[in-house]
Chain A
């Protein structure tokens, strides 16, 4: 028997950076210089705030470019960046930056200004991680707890742990791998959690784990 799986949860305090962008040039400058926690926040905020929706709205940058700058094609380019492929926030930042620098290098406008009141506000988050007091030794125990843990806990183990804390894989897959359940671990890794609601994701993982419980 391996190590028990300890369920944690995470809670975010949103912070304001006092920095705004009125056009693409200022958005690019901000993207390049804000802390990694701000890039993480703006690429995951909708996922947390609107976790009941599918399809979910895209990241904040894409949403702003589409809604406030009326640049649908550019917004689509920013929204379809495959967040799940990145292991580090810095790599995700560079992917976003590349979309805007490519536009700049093509000589397309970067200075058209949004309407007053529609500015992009750079934000960030301070993340608190704390144990829920629940842990599982067996797959069956894991399954029982998974059915009732908060969305915040699920979010932590699937998203925060992997990209924010730069672990190789999500926590669930890492634990199943340690139990010698490689196929289950890989099946969970293969899921694209960015294109499904968090409740939908929970149900998918429950179905996968049920085969082994």
Chain B
């Protein structure tokens, strides 16, 4: 796992010094992170990368995982869908079981902490323990909260109101609440396999393996095969471009083989791509981070034509590689792209095609967007900023004023 000093060549000595200054103010404080899984999923990945850095600064961090039965996780899956705006049948028994499991976990979570940092809805009701333990409690919402179903919102909001602060990833997830709301965006790790610098020979080898021609323009979208990522729309946009300009399209992503919808989307994409050797549909196994890194680096233009998006970190990944990006203005994408400054935002397939043509015809403009994009990510979406925001969040709990002198 990288250490703080490993990031100095990327973000500079002063940024790391700033982190250490903040870390000193939290030295000896205990932060207890609680979520529902130790491995797999974005939350576990972020925690496993951030917590060692906090520890290195002298902050005492713990990470506990709640236990639940199959029924509990079926219910929380329904919660997840309902929060994404997908109608779900949730009965009184579901809410009762959810609360039972949370209450059983309260008894099993050992140890005292100065700050209890609860991640996502599964353990949200642990905050009932605040009345007995006191201390500070933060709820971190990692998921899209734009259109929660009223029933689930009413249930969860009673618990959210008991926390000292809530953290959202994008402004659109915010809503009127009686407690403080912090905006902390997710981040990418520039030293991870998905984002670290690669020798050009590795990029070449990956392209050769997938029979992608690096001498011709490459359009690429990296995402799960999911209707909400609109891979069929991407093919349509590619065809609009292809009428006028030679190019190839790479649609690369993974997906669970037990996800019937994912496999159905993949089949539809393959069917749509059939007969065009310039469309490369790549269904990648897990742990294909180097391949994804290489495909992004080989791309002329990177696309993220999602219909809905939690945050869309693939945009940050591409911008970090200084690639011009054309992406939908949904979820957290507008935070990562200021239109015409650090990338291009679109609202339609025709718009996507139009901007791709502009970028292929004007490589100087494409390069400027990519370079601006990389700087934007350097300043705002790397893991060091994420760590800094968490440190500030923890410190802020002891103050009411807007300007705090430490």
Contacts and interface: CB of A to CB of B under 8 A. Distances in A.
Given A13-B389, A16-B181, A53-B341, 6 more contacts: A11-B18, A12-B392, A13-B396, A17-B181, A35-B402, A128-B395
A125 B389 CA distance: 12
A148 interface: yes
Contacts of A51: 379
Interface stretch (B170-178, B206-214, B255-263, B275-283): B170-178
Given A18-B176, A53-B341, A11 B22 contact: yes
Interface string A44-56: 0010011111000
A132 B404 CA distance: 15
Interface of B: 12, 14-15, 17-18, 21-22, 25, 168, 171-172, 174-177, 180-184, 329-330, 338-339, 341-342, 347, 372, 375-376, 379-380, 388-389, 392-393, 395-396, 399, 402-406
A187 interface: no
- Which 7 residue pairs spanning A and B have beta carbons closest together? A150-B14, A121-B171, A16-B174, A13-B392, A16-B181, A130-B406, A37-B402
A12 B14 CA distance: 16
B347 to A, nearest CB: 8
6 contacts: A16-B181, A18-B174, A46-B338, A53-B341, A128-B392, A152-B14
B54 to A, nearest CB: 16
A49 B379 contact: yes
Contacts of A19: 176
A81 to B, nearest CB: 20
A124 B406 contact: no
Interface of A: 9, 11-19, 35-37, 46, 49-53, 57, 63, 67, 115, 117-119, 121, 123-130, 132-133, 148-153, 164-165
A63 B340 CA distance: 12
Nearest to B405: A129
Nearest to A13: B392
A71 to B, nearest CB: 16
A15 B180 contact: yes
Contacts of B181: 15-18
A126 B339 CA distance: 27
B379 A52 contact: yes
A50 B171 contact: no
Contacts of A53: 341, 372
Nearest to B179: A18
A150 B13 CA distance: 9
B18 A165 contact: no
Contacts of B339: 67
Contacts of B372: 52-53
A99 B261 CA distance: 51
A52 B171 CA distance: 23
State the majority secondary structure of interface residues on B: mixed
B382 to A, nearest CB: 13
Contact of A9 (B18, B183, B393): B18
Nearest to B395: A128
A165 B402 CA distance: 11
Contacts of A9: 18, 21
A132 B17 contact: yes
B106 to A, nearest CB: 29
A126 B404 contact: yes
A91 B177 CA distance: 29
A44 to B, nearest CB: 13
Nearest to B185: A14
A31 to B, nearest CB: 17
B120 to A, nearest CB: 18
A125 B183 CA distance: 9
Contacts of B176: 18-19
Contact of B380 (A11, A49, A124): A49
A121 B404 contact: no
Contacts of B389: 13-14
Contacts of B341: 50, 53, 57
Contacts of B392: 11-13, 126, 128
Contacts of A49: 376, 379-380
A57 B339 CA distance: 10
Contact of B18 (A36, A46, A119, A152): A152
A201 B97 CA distance: 59
Contacts of B404: 126-129
B329 A117 contact: yes
B406 A117 contact: no
Nearest to B174: A16
B174 A128 contact: no
A126 B402 contact: yes
Contact of B174 (A17, A57, A63, A148): A17
A95 B181 CA distance: 28
Given A11-B388, A18-B181, A127 B329 contact: no
A18 to B, nearest CB: 4
A121 B170 CA distance: 10
B405 A18 contact: no
